[in-house]
Amino acid sequence: MPVLLVVTALVAWATPCARRAYPIAERRAMRTGTIVLFAYLIYPTITSHMFSLWRCTKLRSTSGAYVELNIFVVDPETSCDSTTHLWWKYGLGIPGIVVYVLGLPGAGYVLLRKFRHKLHEPRTRTRLGFLYDGFRPEHYMYELWVAARKVFVILVTTFSDKKLQVLLVMGIIAFFLVHTVLLRPYQTGILTSLDTLLLACCFLTLWMGGVFVVYPNCQDPNDDGRIFCL
């Protein structure tokens, strides 16, 4: 999909209509900006799909002999111990993590670092403005922290035990909440308040959801299933 989106952007900005509407220099800048936008939007989905190649669940069967099956969540017909799954995991998963999960933020870092003295220029804003618009000049790379926030949450939801997921994600959200409040990377107080409110809402949602992790169906199993949180 990322390759397809890049090709789509290249083809779209090479059409006769685009050539007539914009000069070549401006067209190149807007083409780069389109690719950056596509990569930014698809990054969380690609990251989730790459890590999902490691998602397995164990099924137990007590009919006859005791059997425990390690099933691939994405394709339940595939065993996580099979050669097919190993090919997918190491043939696609590892390269995908290197190229996309680490490569896209790495490329963003290199480009922002390269043009750090030209961030105010119109052509640079057209190319890369989606990555740093709204941030103060000294925090122009803060979008990398936002990407790290997404990656950490995906990692926890993919690899951690279900009972620990809420606590671990709460810790991640709390860290980035404090980080945002202390750093205040946005140009205006309104943007900082919005991001802080967003993280606070996520934290409160996870905190309330944690009750149902400890007490499924809102019942105390040690008290004859008494419903206590109505």
Reported as a single tens digit per residue, the pLDDT across 70-107 is 788 888 888 888 888 888 888 888 998 999 999 999 99
Euclidean distance between CA atoms 223 and 3, whole angstroms: 56
> pLDDT digit string (tens) for 34-45?
999 998 889 998
Q: Which pLDDT does position 76 carry in this prediction?
A: 81
> pLDDT digit string (tens) for 175-207?
999 999 999 999 988 999 999 999 999 999 988
Answer whether 156's CB lies under 8 Å from 169's CB. yes
- List the end-to-end C-alpha distance of the chain, in Å, as a whole number: 46
Q: What is the mean pLDDT of residues 108-113?
A: 91
Residue of 50, 1, 40 whose CA lies nearest to 158 = 50
> Which of the pair, 132 or 211, is modelled with greater confidence?
132
Q: Which pLDDT does position 201 carry in this prediction?
A: 93
Euclidean distance between CA atoms 210 and 71, whole angstroms: 27
Answer whether 136's CB lies under 8 Å from 186's CB. yes
Q: What is the sign of the dihedral through the CA atoms of 206, 207, 213 and 219? A: negative
Q: What is the mean pLDDT of residues 169-178?
A: 92
